[in-house]
Structure 1
Amino acid sequence: MDMPGPYVMGIDYGTESCRVAIFDLVGTPVSIAATTYATTHPRPGWAEQSPDDWYLALQSSARRAMNQAGISGDEVAGISYDATTMTVVAMDREGNHLRPAIMWMDVRATEQAARALTTDHWARLYNGGGTMPATAEWYPFKAAWLREHEPETYRNAYRLVDAPEWVTFKLTGEWTVNINSAAQRMYYNRDRGGWPVEFYEHIGCGDVFDKIPERVLDLGERVGGLTPRAAEDLGLPVGTPVAQGPADAWAGQVGLGVVNPGKMALITGSSHVLSGQSAHSVHGPGFFGSYTDGVVPGQYTVEGGQVSTGSVMKWFKDNFARDLVSAADRTGANVYDVLNAESSHIPVGSDGLIVNEYFQGNRTPYTDSKARGIIWGLSLAHGPAHVYHAIQEGICYGSAHILREMSRAGFQVTELVAAGGMTKSRSLLQMHADVTGIPITLTRVGDAVALGSSMCAAVGAGFYDNLQEAAAGMVHEVDQLVPDLQRHLDYSFYLDAYCAGYPALSDQIHKIVDHEAVRA
């Protein structure tokens, strides 16, 4: 370890693992360690995790990251964190969870979300300017579901919080709400006076405000210091400054330097999030936002997202490529690199095969928790490589579809800045550029989520005044992928077909989902 300190620590709670990263103050990664945990699916559309697993993963990752860095705890000048959202945790007064966490991808609260359509409250502006259904993923609908289906748990919950707030309490003993979750998943709007109490009452959980912490903090704002218990578990000094962190996708946006109007972050992983900043409020069908102060005070955040992207690729790998997985394990190869090589000869459009990647519902542009995936155009000429290639194309079509809707509302995107697991595949990133027709920039640190949390830590520890200053000092662009204009034109036909596919089948898909729900 020859880089001079001080250092900051970023904790990233993703869907599949807790990663802990150490960075210096110019954004150079020093070490990173990850520990996985499991997701259970008790029923179709449900997803849960154990907060006990989260904490054990944090201990393991933090200790290993510090050991890899070869630094002492005194050299870590600040900590921040991110976690998935809306992953709802019911907690007692001591901070113990009362049931497994209801994960962000969980769509059990479909009935509660449908109630949002029966009010014209201003909160609905965040859902496509009031034109789109609300998603069952978001906080008030899960709170209402819990109140109705698990009343004892709801009644006994001292706090019902998003996962970042679980982290806040575990590190500092403080109860807060981060502005990112509040604005972007809980309908909080400072321009409109804060919490939409009447909207929550209409949904069926107007009393939940007794369970929501009162302090709403901006990203990077200092929360407090590390508690003795947390300090011992992480191997750091008591009182180490802890700064308010965001949801994981927006930590990625920060870590990509998308903190001013213009660029848009493309956060890849199990799901996709597209998120960018606007100088003024903008609303329209097919996307979420714009959220007041959601990332940067005085700005508005526009968002689109795909529920299932990398998770669909993983589904294919786990279920239909076991021979390749075994071979890759024997040789030490990355199985996704092998799959990419196996499908590299497949042409644009996958010989007429199209996949709509809505395996766990659709976030935007339909906001349809009953949506399910479609694989269509199959012929006897198609093989596994076609299906895998078509899944990748479907992921790209989904991003392009969202960008189309934003453009129609007047939010123009001229550059994407990418982060996450898919940045490891240049061919897949190039496919994104070719399908969307928009250049994709890469930054020096591919793990933008961990960097974004570390940037919040640097602000909270006083090394930078705000996130814009931290971005200027810690984010460095290194490469750009330019769209192939001919391939972009070739893809336009298949993109149009993709966009038309789900609306044509949605009624039948809903009938099947409803039928299966009754059987369960």
Structure 2
Amino acid sequence: MAYFLTADGGTESLRARVYDGNGNCLGTKAVPYRTHFTPGRAEQDPVDWWRNFVTASRGAITDAGVEPAQIEAIAYATTCCTVVALDENGGALRPAIMWMDVRAHEEAEEVLATGDDALKLNGAGQGPVSAEWMIPKSLWLKRNEPEIFGRAHRICEYQDFLTFKLTGEWAASLDNAGLRWHYRSREGGWARDMLAALDLSELEGKWPQRMVPPGEVIGTLCPRAADELGLLRSVRVVQGGADALIGMIGLGVHKPGQLAMITGSSHLQFGVTEAPLNAPGVWGSYADIVYPDRWIVEGGQTSTGSIINWLSRLTGGPLDYDMLNARAAELPPGSEGLLVQDHFQGNRTPHTDPLSRGAIVGLTLAHEPHHIFRAIMEAIGFGTRAILDAFAQAGYQSSEMTVGGGASASQLWLQIHADTAGIPVRVPASPDAPSTGSAVLAGVGAGYFASIDEGIGAMVHPGRVIEPIADNVRRYQEIYPRYAALYPALKEVLA
């Protein structure tokens, strides 16, 4: 039996898991790390990433009850775009700028103003460009911390940092670069004209020059990593990518017309197409970043599960989720007059407005925590619907949605998503999509499967289906226009 080690480097923790060749998770271990927040900013210490990777990996292998010598390959998914500035030895020169950090919103506007051809990936060239992405963040770094920028041997991502620590090699994931660096595998590679227009051409030399697609072997463990992990040096390190995109693999979403939603601190929605599709309000389409000869269209919500965590902090948590879910489920759609705008850390799509903010509207003295709890979930469901509407206007529509991640643990949240979107929601047998997807990639890299599609067939198994409730769908159809009206109204107030 083959055994594979995976890691999911998320916003709040790193979780390692051990899988067998049939897609069964045999052992798991999660280790939390701190994120340092200030308004519009979020940072982490890369030292924590590696320390947690080692601790979690050893713990998962022990929990699985397998011998370390039986691990054949490693693959991992991480947050994207979490940008790190590293020296020649892979040491961090400053804290990492997290994916949700939107300090580079002015630089994002300048990227859009270049009018470069690579911008067709941003709403068919109409933009906007997100402050979360690689080039705006790098431009911010050059302007605001020029000494750090100048010293940086590599400016790359969480994913690439782990790759260097594991193998001693500098390699970039085609998945991350195609998604967030304006790299186009079929049209000239790096966006050199864009960099030149921004006086940022030296950034190209600071990026890893080897571009590796998901499922391809980067190398084997370097001696130091093998010793720290307690593994054989022959273990193959296989390219992964952005957690949500690798999650598509773990959900089994690989055929044109299918739709995936990865949930957690944020939500991401992805569709698969067999031809390019570029339209306003939609990000992409991105060629070959997950599957060869297929394109990915994208939407996303910056803060979703993180709003629930905010509520927990606000109320002095931890929250009693079982009680809140039970009481919230008793409420009718609409949470008895409460309406929430879910832009607590800005909006990713369809508005792509980093300066938009959250709001709770309609509060009365009769409302209790479970009202707010449900209203937050409804707002996130409405935010998802807004993205699916943008997809439909672009010509991409799906009759169902496959969901993985944190929200899949809540039957109420799944039902609200089915009801607000008006389509069935599928949850695979293993909802830990980024880890399952990483296991598939490890199996491909280890030579057990000829393709990612074949690996999906062997390791991803069907689970349950949540059908929309007709009465709830009708009620949410009535409420949704009020939600949609919040953004333009609040934009005026917050301007």
After superposition, give the CA deviation of every residue in 1:367-426 in whole Å (9 maximum; x if it has no partner): 111011021122333332221111110010000110001001100111211110111111
1:88 aligns with 83
1:179 aligns with 174
- Give runs of aligned pairs for residues 115-514 of structure 1, distance below 5 A: 115-320=110-315, 322=317, 325=318, 335-509=320-494, 511=495
CA distance in 2, matches of 1:117, 1:215: 27
CA distance in 2, matches of 1:302, 1:117: 19
After superposition, give the CA deviation of every residue in 1:260-310 in whole Å (9 maximum; x if it has no partner): 212111111000011121001111122211111121121110110000000
Which amino acid counterpart does residue 492 of structure 2 have in structure 1? D
Q: Kindly indicate whether the alpha-carbon contact (under 8 Å) linking 2:257 and 2:396 is maintained by their aligned counterparts in 1.
A: no
Q: Kindly indicate whether the alpha-carbon contact (under 8 Å) linking 1:132 and 1:366 is maintained by their aligned counterparts in 2.
A: no
1:331 aligns with none
CA distance in 2, matches of 1:319, 1:57: 27
After superposition, give the CA deviation of every residue in 1:462-482 in whole Å (9 maximum; x if it has no partner): 111121111011101121111
Question: How many angstroms does 1:28 deviate by?
Answer: 0.7
Q: Kindly indicate whether the alpha-carbon contact (under 8 Å) linking 1:434 and 1:484 is maintained by their aligned counterparts in 2.
A: yes
Q: Kindly indicate whether the alpha-carbon contact (under 8 Å) linking 2:246 and 2:437 is maintained by their aligned counterparts in 1.
A: yes
* Worse overlay, 495-504 or 134-143: 495-504
Aligned residues: 495
Which amino acid counterpart does residue 17 of structure 1 have in structure 2? S
Question: How many angstroms does 1:204 deviate by?
Answer: 4.0
Q: Kindly indicate whether the alpha-carbon contact (under 8 Å) linking 1:112 and 1:203 is maintained by their aligned counterparts in 2.
A: no
SS of alignment partner, residue 189 of structure 1: coil
Q: Kindly indicate whether the alpha-carbon contact (under 8 Å) linking 1:141 and 1:203 is maintained by their aligned counterparts in 2.
A: no
Q: Kindly indicate whether the alpha-carbon contact (under 8 Å) linking 1:86 and 1:139 is maintained by their aligned counterparts in 2.
A: yes
CA distance in 1, matches of 2:489, 2:247: 35
After superposition, give the CA deviation of every residue in 1:179-212 in whole Å (9 maximum; x if it has no partner): 1111110111123211111112233422100101
CA distance in 1, matches of 2:340, 2:281: 20
Question: How many angstroms does 1:177 deviate by?
Answer: 1.0
SS of alignment partner, residue 241 of structure 2: coil
Q: Kindly indicate whether the alpha-carbon contact (under 8 Å) linking 1:354 and 1:390 is maintained by their aligned counterparts in 2.
A: yes
Question: How many angstroms does 1:135 deviate by?
Answer: 0.5
Question: How many angstroms does 1:131 deviate by?
Answer: 2.2
CA distance in 2, matches of 1:507, 1:262: 37
Aligned partner (choices 10, 13, 38) of residue 14 of structure 1: 10
Aligned partner (choices 7, 10, 33) of residue 37 of structure 1: 33
Question: How many angstroms does 1:75 deviate by?
Answer: 0.9
Q: Does 1:26 align with 2:11?
A: no
* Worse overlay, 208-217 or 495-504: 495-504
2:42 aligns with 47
Query: Which blocks of at least 5 consecutive residues in structure 1 are unaligned?
Result: 329-334, 512-520
SS of alignment partner, residue 292 of structure 2: coil
Q: Does 1:73 align with 2:68?
A: yes
CA distance in 2, matches of 1:144, 1:508: 30
After superposition, give the CA deviation of every residue in 1:335-377 in whole Å (9 maximum; x if it has no partner): 2222112322221111221101100010000111101102112
> What percentage of residue pairs aligned between the two structures are identical?
41
CA distance in 1, matches of 2:77, 2:334: 37
1:518 aligns with none
Which amino acid counterpart does residue 205 of structure 1 have in structure 2? L
- What is the root-mean-square deviation of aligned Cα atoms in Å? 1.2
Q: Kindly indicate whether the alpha-carbon contact (under 8 Å) linking 2:111 and 2:136 is maintained by their aligned counterparts in 1.
A: no
Question: How many angstroms does 1:321 deviate by?
Answer: 5.8
Which amino acid counterpart does residue 202 of structure 1 have in structure 2? A
> Once superposed, which parts of structure 1, at least 4 consecutive aligned residues long, lie more than 6 Å away?
none
CA distance in 2, matches of 1:163, 1:135: 19
CA distance in 1, matches of 2:174, 2:240: 9
SS of alignment partner, residue 508 of structure 1: helix
Q: Kindly indicate whether the alpha-carbon contact (under 8 Å) linking 2:27 and 2:65 is maintained by their aligned counterparts in 1.
A: no
After superposition, give the CA deviation of every residue in 1:132-151 in whole Å (9 maximum; x if it has no partner): 31010000000000001001
CA distance in 1, matches of 2:195, 2:47: 30
Q: Kindly indicate whether the alpha-carbon contact (under 8 Å) linking 1:116 and 1:133 is maintained by their aligned counterparts in 2.
A: no
CA distance in 2, matches of 1:262, 1:395: 23
SS of alignment partner, residue 463 of structure 2: strand
Q: Kindly indicate whether the alpha-carbon contact (under 8 Å) linking 1:260 and 1:468 is maintained by their aligned counterparts in 2.
A: no
SS of alignment partner, residue 244 of structure 1: strand
After superposition, give the CA deviation of every residue in 1:142-180 in whole Å (9 maximum; x if it has no partner): 000000100111001000001111111011111111111
After superposition, give the CA deviation of every residue in 1:98-153 in whole Å (9 maximum; x if it has no partner): 11111001001011001133232222111111223101000000000000100111
Q: Kindly indicate whether the alpha-carbon contact (under 8 Å) linking 1:270 and 1:309 is maintained by their aligned counterparts in 2.
A: yes
CA distance in 2, matches of 1:394, 1:208: 39
Q: Kindly indicate whether the alpha-carbon contact (under 8 Å) linking 2:182 and 2:190 is maintained by their aligned counterparts in 1.
A: yes
